[in-house]
Structure 1
Amino acid sequence: MKNKLKKVIAYVLSFMMLFTMSAMNISSVSAASTGSITVHTGKHDVNGVNFNAYRLMDATVSGNKVSYSISSNFTGFFTEELLNGTTGDDIDIKAYNYIKANVSTTNFQNKLKTYIATNQISADGAATGTTDTKEYTIAGLAYGYYAVIPSGEGYTPSFTTVKSSNAVDVYLKGKTPDPEKTINNKKYDSAQVGDTVDFKVESMVPNMTGYNQYYYIFKDTMTEGLTVSKDTLNLVVKIGGTVVDTSEYTLTVDKTNRIFTVEFKNFYTNHAKDANESLTFTYSAVVNEKAINDTNTSTNKAEVSYGNDPDHLTTGAPSEVKVLTHTLKINKVDEQNKPLSGAEFALYRNNVDSGKLKFVDEGNGTYRIATIDDETTTDTLVSPEEGVITVKGLSEGDYVIEETKAPDGYAKLKNTINKTISVDGNAPQTVNVEEKVTNKTESWLPETGGMGTVIFTVVGVVGVLAILSTYFKKGKKREEA
């Protein structure tokens, strides 16, 4: 009986220990899965302003890796209609890509605020501004991607990911016409020399209440790696989605310094009624050979100047983007990994039907993508003595490598090689990829009809002649006898 009682007590204690450990683990996971957002308001008067945090997407975090899924409160916001045209294998990925492309736009922010108000979505956390305090912390937030929306119409929302117990900082931005520039709907992108890239800058019509005149100037400065001209600019200006007639502004292009400006005429008269409407500029530039030498610090920027006094305009913070080119190296070797010279290749973008890419030969196995202005070009890449061909000025994407001629004494590759240049993440980075191409030499095949047969034939004939000679000599001796 005592032994049974001891066993029961042992089982109960074991269960209690297991439950306690599980509770501790649950508690630690829960504690580790919340964080906070600190809103910095600077010099803005935020007395009475509410800062509400809404979790648009849940986040699962493991070290430096994160995966997002739509939060339950916003499944009705990220509809198939909203995400139409956005890439992705499922709705979570589509929502992720949609946010990346649209988060800074007035259109996205207004849609989000309307959805929250219409559906009475409860905030996941909130803070209220006072007269003196300049920082406000919203705590106890589960991991995820948040919109911090100030009450009223004086300030724009902020967006950030809560991914650890450390506070995430956001900085309040007043409704000023500071620009937000993107390239191909991204902050960073890669392109091939000769490609046309599309830019979009979003600003807004400032509030001109209290003035009887107002000025607005847009300015964009390109890097040396981008060619800008009136012929290729394709500028379109819109206010609230309506195209602004070209007669309402003066366009100036400085090709030498790669700068163009848009200066509005009679801005107050024409657009005072459009206060807080979106003001967008879309335009294009061509990537040239100098983009190859751009570094990660070489950006192109947009900025706006505005105000009622033309001699004392306010210039807001510039918005910068980066366009990169990439490098492909073809390493030509034999079976012993020794470099091979004299191999010839063609390179295709996407597939062989696109036609061979054309290059400028810079010497010693180095080539760059040719532009329409280059007079001397080639579509053949030749491996130098060191065996390494370097091709500069490529974009990310798929390429096909075709060996068109093998070095003397080696067999040419029968199949083409597919190569993908990819960029990991939406951040500025250069990518160098390498492809090792090995050629084989083969042993001699067996030969027939060589000297060995001739020698045996000659020996045989000589032998027959010797026998006949002996025979005739013996016959002659008999006759003489």
Structure 2
Amino acid sequence: MKNSKRFLAMMTAGFLAITPMAATGLTAFADYTITVDNATAGYSYAAYQIFSGDLDGDVLSNIGWATGVNGSGLIAALQADTLLGSEFTSVSTPAAVAAKLVELNANTEKLVQFAKIAKNYVNSTASGTQNTQTGSTYPITVTNPGYYLIEETSVPTGATVSRYMLEVVKSTTVTPKRPSPTINKTITGGADSGKANNVSIGDAVTYNITSAVPDMTGYDKYFFVINDDMAAGLTFNNDVAITIGSTTLTSSQFEVQTDSTETDGHTFQIVFNDFYNTWKTHSGDTISVTYTATLNEDADRTTAGNLNTATLTYSNNPNVTSTGTNEPTPPGGETPGDPVGTTPASQTKTYTANIKLTKKDGSGNVLTGAKFRLSGGSENVVLVNGKAYQLDNTNGTYYKLKNGTFTTTEPSGDTSAYDATDKKYKIVENVSSSKTYSNICMDAYVQSDGTLEFGGLGAGTYTLSEIVTPGGYNSIPDMTIVINGTGNTFASPNWSATKDGTSVTMTDTATVAFDVINNAGSTLPTTGGIGTKLFYIIGGLLVAGSVVLLVTKKRMKTNED
């Protein structure tokens, strides 16, 4: 009796302090209430009695197996367990099991393993259940004092399940502990706490994901899979680097899945191999993942931006016994029944801008036939009226026309519509940082509506030059356009722009839009033209008069003869 009292006193004071909950004794009465402190709706709980006994204050005496407990089966399972077998070799009674638990009160891992095994040998009918909140708690009523296992029997979709809670029951309050990993994605060097940036098409964006090694107590394997979803305007460069704490992971410690048949609908997944066995003793260590993506020709060039989303899929039920020492294929191909949860999304945005000019005459009429060149800034692969063209006389199939378009029709006969007959271009596709982009077409004619757009530009200073002026119009000087992108946020970009030092309002499509005016040349008067004509007329008359006079004189002389 003395040993039993000593066991329960120690269990109340010591064991409960290290299991994943907090306990507060309340006044005892005929029925006992286990109050689960949880302010979140959508949970259900059940309490299963392991030990019975007599309650006197904080002490439980006359310890025995609770009704329905398979005591001999529980002891046999404890003795056969790899982790606990040596601890329970000589026990044969419930009091001896209880005494051994006191010895293990500082070993959370072993106590959690005891609970996982005990759950399989208690009465399958719970002593009390609760699935309805009262305020911010879930009260479970039981009729007998004793030692109970409290289980979260259901949780909201994707939520982490608390480890089994072990409690000496008089009326008491327990708080579930369900440590869940988190994830945060940022852009290196980005604004808005790394949540937004701006670049040109062809630029690489560097991403960083941070998390921490979770508390894996109670698990025997653990999923840890990063899911990444990139907008169509971003191309993953498959250059993942990972550190955990001060350790740089080798390629054998993780796998990057890019095949659509393996990624569960994501752009790619990063699967950590044998995560549990490798990192279970590193709880709290920082996980840092870096990789890049290139803004490509399909980039969203409006204020909506190019979204990148990361989530983390992780094991979320420590009470499930798994087999094997390595994690199986990532979620979507996991072993049936493997419970996993997913973190809330962590997102970033990358913006890019455009320059659009409209060619007009001094009266506001649209002009065609003008050709412009864009230079400077941070351009790599500039879209001309929505596409990027690269000079390639070997593989190119397109010819540039003076109406601002490109054609695959080879020049023959009248070639006046062609910018050049000896230059061929190809459309730039699948932009990535692994490719080199030279001879990108940075000059083009305005279209039939007088417009010309250069797209996919990051912040920078650009020079726009008119290199072909419409016939009959005066050429114009070069224009300097400055695009500023400081202060971008995830919610929206913060573009501003100037043209030759004067502010230009950017449109909702992230476009610097302005008119370029060409004035017609003048037909100058030719002074003295009238006098020359009169001279020739008078001269002609004088000559004619002289001829008439000469002929008349000859006739008169003839008549006299």
The correspondence of residues 445-464 of structure 1 with structure 2, limited to 5 A, is 445-447=524-526, 450=529, 452-460=531-539, 462-463=541-542
Task: Identify the residue that residue 333 of structure 1 maps to in structure 2.
Answer: 360
- TM-score normalised by the chain length of structure 1: 0.54
Distance 1:473 1:316 in 2: 121
Q: Does residue 380 of the first structure (1) align with residue 380 of the second (2)?
A: no
- Contact 2:225-2:314 within 8 A present in 1 as well: yes
Alpha carbons of 1:294 and 1:441: their partners in 2 closer, same or farther (altered >3 Å)? Answer: closer
Deviation (angstroms), 1:279: 0.6
Task: Identify the residue that residue 412 of structure 1 maps to in structure 2.
Answer: 475
Alpha carbons of 1:181 and 1:216: their partners in 2 closer, same or farther (altered >3 Å)? Answer: same
Task: Identify the residue that residue 97 of structure 1 maps to in structure 2.
Answer: none
Alpha carbons of 1:208 and 1:366: their partners in 2 closer, same or farther (altered >3 Å)? Answer: farther
Task: Identify the residue that residue 511 of structure 2 maps to in structure 1.
Answer: 432
Deviation (angstroms), 1:323: 2.1
Distance 1:361 1:305 in 2: 38
Q: What whole-Å deviation, never above 9, does each CA across 1:146-188 have from its counterpart, x for those lacking one?
A: xxxxxxxxxxxxxxxxxxxxxxxxxxxx974311112243212
Q: What whole-Å deviation, never above 9, does each CA across 1:393-412 have from its counterpart, x for those lacking one?
A: 33333322111111121112
- In the alignment of these two chains, the number of paired residues is 309
Distance 2:352 2:551 in 1: 92
Task: Identify the residue that residue 100 of structure 1 maps to in structure 2.
Answer: none
Q: Does residue 371 of the first structure (1) align with residue 428 of the second (2)?
A: yes
Which of residues 343, 356, 359 is equivalent to 1:316? Answer: 343
Which secondary structure state, in structure 1, belongs to the residue aligned with residue 454 of structure 2? strand
Where does structure 1 lack aligned partners over 5 or more consecutive residues? 1-40, 45-131, 135-173
Distance 2:550 2:306 in 1: 102
- Contact 2:185-2:209 within 8 A present in 1 as well: yes
Which secondary structure state, in structure 1, belongs to the residue aligned with residue 299 of structure 2? helix
Q: Does residue 442 of the first structure (1) align with residue 521 of the second (2)?
A: yes
- Farther off after superposition, 250-259 or 405-414: 250-259
Task: Identify the residue that residue 253 of structure 2 maps to in structure 1.
Answer: 248
The correspondence of residues 132-151 of structure 1 with structure 2, limited to 5 A, is none
Distance 1:219 1:275 in 2: 21
Q: What whole-Å deviation, never above 9, does each CA across 1:327-362 have from its counterpart, x for those lacking one?
A: 3220211112222122111122418xx799563666
Question: Which structure has the bigger radius of gyration?
Answer: 2
Deviation (angstroms), 1:476: 11
Q: Does residue 179 of the first structure (1) align with residue 183 of the second (2)?
A: yes
- Contact 1:361-1:378 within 8 A present in 2 as well: no
Alpha carbons of 1:42 and 1:323: their partners in 2 closer, same or farther (altered >3 Å)? Answer: farther
Distance 1:412 1:270 in 2: 70
Alpha carbons of 1:290 and 1:415: their partners in 2 closer, same or farther (altered >3 Å)? Answer: closer
- Contact 1:370-1:377 within 8 A present in 2 as well: no
Distance 1:208 1:196 in 2: 36
Distance 2:357 2:279 in 1: 57
Task: Identify the residue that residue 238 of structure 1 maps to in structure 2.
Answer: 243
The correspondence of residues 71-110 of structure 1 with structure 2, limited to 5 A, is none
Which secondary structure state, in structure 2, belongs to the residue aligned with residue 273 of structure 1? coil
Task: Identify the residue that residue 59 of structure 1 maps to in structure 2.
Answer: none
Distance 1:355 1:237 in 2: 29
Alpha carbons of 1:303 and 1:373: their partners in 2 closer, same or farther (altered >3 Å)? Answer: closer
- Contact 1:347-1:356 within 8 A present in 2 as well: no
Distance 1:329 1:280 in 2: 41
Distance 2:368 2:340 in 1: 62
Q: Does residue 401 of the first structure (1) align with residue 464 of the second (2)?
A: yes
Q: 1:456 is matched by which residue type in structure 2? A: F
Alpha carbons of 1:468 and 1:397: their partners in 2 closer, same or farther (altered >3 Å)? Answer: same
Task: Identify the residue that residue 144 of structure 1 maps to in structure 2.
Answer: none
Which secondary structure state, in structure 2, belongs to the residue aligned with residue 296 of structure 1? coil
Which secondary structure state, in structure 2, belongs to the residue aligned with residue 460 of structure 1? helix
Q: What whole-Å deviation, never above 9, does each CA across 1:259-294 have from its counterpart, x for those lacking one?
A: 211211222332223221211111111222322377
Deviation (angstroms), 1:233: 2.0
Distance 2:380 2:287 in 1: 41
- Farther off after superposition, 443-452 or 232-241: 443-452
Distance 2:513 2:302 in 1: 20
Q: 2:347 is matched by which residue type in structure 1? A: E
Deviation (angstroms), 1:246: 1.4
Aligned Cα root-mean-square deviation (Å): 4.2
Q: What whole-Å deviation, never above 9, does each CA across 1:209-236 have from its counterpart, x for those lacking one?
A: 44444331111111222222xxx22111
Which secondary structure state, in structure 1, belongs to the residue aligned with residue 535 of structure 2? helix
- Contact 1:204-1:279 within 8 A present in 2 as well: yes
Distance 2:472 2:314 in 1: 70
Task: Identify the residue that residue 283 of structure 2 maps to in structure 1.
Answer: 275
Distance 1:297 1:470 in 2: 94
Q: What whole-Å deviation, never above 9, does each CA across 1:40-94 have from its counterpart, x for those lacking one?
A: x9659xxxxxxxxxxxxxxxxxxxxxxxxxxxxxxxxxxxxxxxxxxxxxxxxxx
Distance 1:297 1:458 in 2: 76
Distance 1:212 1:355 in 2: 50
Q: Does residue 204 of the first structure (1) align with residue 283 of the second (2)?
A: no
Which secondary structure state, in structure 2, belongs to the residue aligned with residue 459 of structure 1? helix
Which of residues 257, 265, 281 is equivalent to 2:273? Answer: 265
Distance 1:345 1:471 in 2: 69
Q: 2:367 is matched by which residue type in structure 1? A: L
- TM-score normalised by the chain length of structure 2: 0.47
Deviation (angstroms), 1:436: 1.7
Deviation (angstroms), 1:452: 4.9
Higher helix share: 1
Deviation (angstroms), 1:326: 2.5
Distance 1:418 1:370 in 2: 26
Deviation (angstroms), 1:312: 0.8
The correspondence of residues 162-173 of structure 1 with structure 2, limited to 5 A, is none
Deviation (angstroms), 1:319: 0.6
Task: Identify the residue that residue 346 of structure 1 maps to in structure 2.
Answer: 373
- Contact 2:242-2:287 within 8 A present in 1 as well: yes
Alpha carbons of 1:224 and 1:361: their partners in 2 closer, same or farther (altered >3 Å)? Answer: closer
Q: Does residue 191 of the first structure (1) align with residue 199 of the second (2)?
A: yes
Distance 1:449 1:242 in 2: 92
Which secondary structure state, in structure 1, belongs to the residue aligned with residue 298 of structure 2? helix
